[in-house]
Chain A
Amino acid sequence: MRLMPILMIAAGSLLLVGCPKKPTTVPEAPAETTVPQGSDAAGAGNQDQVGKARSLPDASAAGSATSPPAGVATGIYFDFDRSEIRPEYASVIKAHAKHMAAFGAARVRLEGHTDERGSREYNIALGERRSQAVRRALMLEGAADGQLTTVSYGEERAAVEGSDEAAYEKNRRVEIVYGH
């Protein structure tokens, strides 16, 4: 079961790599369908027949603009009072950034959270810094600024209720939410 999404991504990547932008693979392309073959006008008027290029949704890529890449975690977790992204999340960030680059229509909200300790307003600022850290990392890996919004809830929305380290470490997070 765990192999499935990974294979799908791999297949998607292969298709992406092995897919030069040949007009022949795009049946609706105006350049292909509107040039009259062997016409008298061929030569002079030829250029006028080429329309403006538009980007096409990559039907071969796995997933969609409104959902995260399959099999990729949507939570980035942080150390206490820190907002640096731990090295173990590099691949998660990369996968999301790649997905967003593939789906230009994807809109993602980065929700920053903290554990319940300390001051509420400081935690709002800390949650903001965490969501900004994830935003910058995603942009470095290819996501566009316009695709990303951030919001910090501070300690208002715990993922796990409880006042022990087991709960705290699950609450110090940025949630990557698609569809915003």
Chain B
Amino acid sequence: MLMIRRAITVFLLAILQSPPAAAELTVQILRGMAETVPIAIVPFGWETDSAAAWDVAATVQADLERSGRFRALPRSQMIEFPHQADAVDATDWRMLKVDYVVVGQLVRMPDGRFELRYELIQVATGERLLGTALPADPGALLPASHRVADGIYERILGVRGAFATRIAYVAVEGPPTARSYRLVVADADGANERIVFNSPEPIMSPAWSRDGRSLAYVSFHSSLPAIYVQTLKTGEQVRVSARSGINSAPAWSPDGDQLAVALSRRDGNVDIYLLSLATQELRRVTDDPSIDTEPAWSLDGRSLYFTSDRSGAPQVYHLGLAAGDRPQRITFEGTYNARPRVSPDGRELAVVTLDRGAYRIAAVNLEHGGMRILSNGRLDESPSFAPNGADIIYATREGGRGVLALVSIDGRIQQRLAATAGEVREPAWSPFVY
């Protein structure tokens, strides 16, 4: 074990607690649901008349509206500001044509921590649907507010909210001769950006560990591509694969013990391997003269989906990991289907598909094989599911510039996340972190 630890290059990054990234992401909602849920989020009560330590209601409102599924009543149109369910007059709110009201209080506790107390009321029935108290450290009022939004989203829509999650992506700035690549992690709304790693050479393929604590990615900073695993909290970066040829497309196994990777090694033939992180042991799982790459794990960790051009053009295949299992082709529509990602419920794959001359994001149903085109760009790529399965984030172009986009799984809601400077690409949505 010690020997293996020593064989791995380990170094702490000096830029660990780096300042926020210079180019911030801004969110723009292009299209929402035709039927959005009307809701009022009343400003939370606070101990004095002075400004509260945090405007919880503003964060909750921004989250719910940004999801494209809610329509919030502006504060200026509210006629009363209750802080508890028993003070909510359903008749008044019915007049304002909202279906739900959120009320709450931000309370400072004797130990210096805070508590976010909130209640959700259904206006039609006057029923109190939620009553929750969420403790939070003074520095955690923003993530705590996202969790309030998560709770409301789930109680109304029946799907867990993903506002308290994060996205990793690659940001690129500068002319071709002086590029700067940054691996960035931000909150799901694009705020709170932190640089994880930066390099003048390409950074690619960020992938989250299932516990949300680490990222695997490919970096060319040593001039040849290698796969690294970096722990976000400590910044510790471990080089896990720097073999001859390409080292690419890492995907974390559900148990966190292995990475599925695409290597070409000395013979130059790109195949998929399983790399044990503890022992560095390598197991080859495909062996075909064609390209086999972009592995994605099934939920149970017993099989992989991957891209192969063994039929003459890229298509998605499914391969069990038991001895003797043979790859089964999954996609048959069109001449290009690549880069599968499995939905959190395991029923669908998000893929990049060539649709009438344009590269678009599609969802492939794994039961009947049907395909739905979800995006409408020309060069869309790198789809990644939100951990609640409600949305897919992907990379697209806008005015020749790389931006991120978000589409709901039914294709109805569309958003853009553009950097204020430079390009952003290869988004990876984190798992749930609580």
Contact = CB atoms under 8 A, between A and B. Distances in A.
Contacts of B336: 118
Interface string A96-129: 0000000000000000000011111110111011
Contact of A118 (B224, B270, B338): B338
B314 A135 contact: no
A152 interface: yes
A136 B202 CA distance: 26
Interface stretch (B22-30, B233-241, B243-251): B243-251
B138 interface: no
Contacts of A125: 246, 248, 262, 264, 270, 291, 293
Contacts of B425: 120
A156 B359 contact: no
A161 to B, nearest CB: 7
B204 A120 contact: yes
A114 to B, nearest CB: 12
Contact of A119 (B225, B270, B352, B397): B352
Contacts of B408: none
Interface in B376-403: 378-379, 381-382, 397, 400
A128 B245 contact: yes
Given A81-B313, A152-B246, A158-B176, A121 B268 contact: no
B339 interface: yes
A180 to B, nearest CB: 9
A150 interface: yes
B414 interface: no
A151 B307 contact: no
A40 B248 CA distance: 70
B289 to A, nearest CB: 10
Given A118-B352, A120-B204, A129-B268, A151 B382 contact: no
B205 interface: yes
Interface string B352-391: 1010000100000000000000000011011000000000
Q: Tell me what chain A mostly uses at the interface: helix, strand, loop, or mixed.
A: mixed
Interface in A116-163: 116-122, 124-126, 128-129, 131-132, 135-136, 150-154, 156-158, 161, 163
A116 B246 contact: no
A120 B381 contact: yes
Nearest to A145: B266
Interface residues of A, number: 27
B248 A121 contact: yes
Given A129-B270, A156-B202, A158-B176, A124 B248 contact: yes
A156 B262 CA distance: 17
Contacts of B262: 121, 124-125
Contacts of A157: 176, 202
Contact of A132 (B264, B378, B400): B264
A125 B168 CA distance: 23
A68 to B, nearest CB: 20
B245 A150 contact: yes
B224 A151 contact: yes
Contacts of A151: 223-225
Interface in B251-285: 262, 264, 268-270
B379 A116 contact: yes
A119 B246 contact: no
B189 interface: no
Contacts of B293: 121-122, 124-125
A122 B270 CA distance: 10
B426 interface: yes
B401 to A, nearest CB: 11
Contact of A117 (B225, B269, B309, B379): B379
Given A119-B339, A121-B205, A161 B176 contact: yes
Leading 10 A-B pairs by shortest Cβ distance: A132-B268, A119-B339, A119-B338, A125-B270, A121-B249, A125-B291, A156-B202, A125-B293, A128-B246, A119-B352
18 contacts: A116-B379, A117-B379, A118-B314, A119-B381, A120-B425, A121-B294, A122-B291, A122-B338, A124-B248, A125-B262, A125-B291, A126-B291, A128-B245, A128-B264, A128-B270, A129-B291, A150-B245, A163-B379
